[in-house]
Amino acid sequence: MTNADVSTGDLARAGFADRFGRSPLGVWSAPGRVNLIGEHTDYNEGFVFPFAIDRRTVVALGERSDRAIRVASTFAPESVEIAIDDLTPGAVDGWAAYPLGVVWALGASGADLASVRGVDLFIDSDVPVGAGLSSSAAIECAVALALDEHWALGLDRPALASVGQLAENRVVGAPTGIMDQSASLLGEADAGVFLDCRSRDAEVVDLGFAAAGLSVLVIDTHVSHEHATGGYAARRASCEAGAAALGVPSLRDVDPGDLPRAAELLDDETFRRVRHVVTENRRVLDTVRSLREHGPASIGALLEASHASMRDDFEISVPELDLAVATAVDAGAVGARMTGGGFGGAAIALVADDLVETTSGAVRAAFAAAGFREPTIFTVAPSQGARRDG
Ligand code: ADP
Ligand code: MG
């Protein structure tokens, strides 16, 4: 694990040489992401607004003379090898399902792999795993871009995002949306990726955090609840039930002005689930507009309203996340909210550069006083998406 982009590529090259006994042909990387706002809106065909971060997964690639793919990683002792023609969902599992799943998904998406030669891939990363920063999309997107360029497949970035999603859905078996891969492939320095999950239209929007002297703190609570998977499925089911009762294809089609009618038609719990999604979609649009018109210092109230909606209406927060958000705001953060699917994970806080230390200290002290496990706190900067590094 390293921090600087530059040395990460060197580690991947060295790791490749060490495992495979020769130098790689090239090195590609893709970042993790943070979702600034727009939670549980993706599967309701709504809006999300993530950004790529300055933590990257690097893949070093070398060609083989046969048609096998071999993958190795700094954090896996064994390499995994399989012939391209034997790749099917179910043929691979564990961490190797991410990179090998991408190879399968390229073929399943129509890329002609009939005459390509196999490759060796070595993967190194400084994206923390399981902290809600999408190390999974980072590995998928780095591999997808590397193979697209090496095999000259000619896929554009939105197509590569779909390939990553297909790998994750079908080979890894996680029912995730298109947000993470879109952020990882389309992100730019100090910008966010405003994504319409219905049309898949994506727009890169300046965040202006650096110019405004603002940092994004990630507060990883290390809380993970066993009921997260069940809770996620239950929220999706509530959203589908709400849309069906309101006679619309998805909650994307419900406006805030429709909520009084929804309150009459739906039971209280379903109504609150619906209200979260409907108001969250509006908050994403308002965040993009507010950034453009008034700059980043203006979005704090939207971040806090998003958190309150997830806590009270969607009921996916936990005491640790609520405390992190409240403490960061009390310490002077522009705004803060939990980020990710909920039931644990991380909160983000938008903080003036000179308040980063005091805000982090206040959150740590509050966690200690509450008897909570010490959080891991670090800053992330909106950064460039997937690229060739050498
Ligand atoms: P996250 O929120 O970080 O995306 P996931 O559970 O979706 O968490 O994906 C994490 C998984 O992705 C890891 O458990 C591992 O299987 C795989 N992975 C991520 N980064 C790497 C890496 N550098 N090398 C090997 N596997 C990785
Ligand atoms: Mg993931």
Write out pLDDT tens, residues 326-367. Answer: 999 999 999 999 999 999 999 999 999 999 999 999 999 999
Tell me, in angstroms, the distance from the centre of ligand 1 to residue 95's CA: 7
> Strand (E) positions, 116-166?
119-125
What pLDDT score was predicted for residue 187? 98
What pLDDT score was predicted for residue 119? 98
Residue nearest atom 9 of ligand 1, based on CA coordinates: 136
Residue nearest atom 8 of ligand 1, based on CA coordinates: 130
Query: What is the mean predicted confidence (pLDDT) over 105-117?
Result: 97
Query: What is the mean predicted confidence (pLDDT) over 237-257?
Result: 98
Domain ranges in the chain are 3-189, 214-380
pTM for this one?
A: 0.95
What pLDDT score was predicted for residue 8? 64
Interface confidence (ipTM) of the complex: 0.98
Query: What is the mean predicted confidence (pLDDT) over 76-89?
Result: 95
The 10s digit of each residue's pLDDT in 213-240 is: 999 999 999 998 877 888 999 999 999 9
Give the containing element (helix H, strand E) for 48.
strand 47-63
Return the axis-axis angle of helices 135-150 and 179-186, rounded to nearest 10°: 60
Sequence letter at residue 8: T
Is 148 one of the annotated active-site residues of the chain?
A: no
Probe ligand 1: pick from 78, 129, 180, max atoms within 8 Å of CB? 129
Q: Pick the catalytic residue: 120, 124, 148, 180?
A: 180
The 10s digit of each residue's pLDDT in 195-206 is: 999 999 999 999
User: Which fold is adopted by the domain 3-189?
Assistant: Ribosomal Protein S5; domain 2 (3.30.230)
Query: What is the mean predicted confidence (pLDDT) over 103-122?
Result: 97
Asked whether residue 1 carries a pLDDT value surpassing 50, the answer given is no
**Contact criterion met (CB below 8 Å) for 49 and 39:** no
Tell me, in angstroms, the distance from the centre of ligand 2 to residue 178's CA: 11
d(CA 190, CA 181): 18
d(CA 247, CA 225): 33
Pocket residues: Cβ below 6 A from ligand 1: 57, 73, 75-76, 95, 98, 123, 125, 129-130, 132-136, 139
d(CA 149, CA 388): 9
Task: Decide yes or no: CATH 3.20.20.70 for domain 214-380.
Answer: no
Beta bridge partners of 380: 216
The 10s digit of each residue's pLDDT in 266-312 is: 999 999 999 999 999 999 999 999 999 999 999 999 999 999 999 99
Distance between alpha carbon 334 and the CA centroid of its chain, in Å?
22
Strands 68-73 and 119-125: parallel
pLDDT band at 243 (very low <50, low <70, confident <90, very high): very high
Asked whether residue 4 carries a pLDDT value surpassing 90, the answer given is no
The 10s digit of each residue's pLDDT in 10-40 is: 999 999 999 999 999 999 999 999 999 999 9
Query: What is the mean predicted confidence (pLDDT) over 202-211?
Result: 98
Tell me, in angstroms, the distance from the centre of ligand 2 to residue 83's CA: 26
Share of the chain above pLDDT 70, in %: 98
Strands 191-196 and 76-83: unpaired
What pLDDT score was predicted for residue 3? 43
Mean of per-residue pLDDT scores for the chain: 96
Residue of 208, 173, 189 whose CA lies nearest to 54: 189
Residue nearest atom 11 of ligand 1, based on CA coordinates: 136
What pLDDT score was predicted for residue 5? 47
What pLDDT score was predicted for residue 14? 96
**Contact criterion met (CB below 8 Å) for 27 and 77:** no
How is residue 382 annotated by DSSP? Answer: B
What pLDDT score was predicted for residue 6? 47
pLDDT band at 77 (very low <50, low <70, confident <90, very high): confident
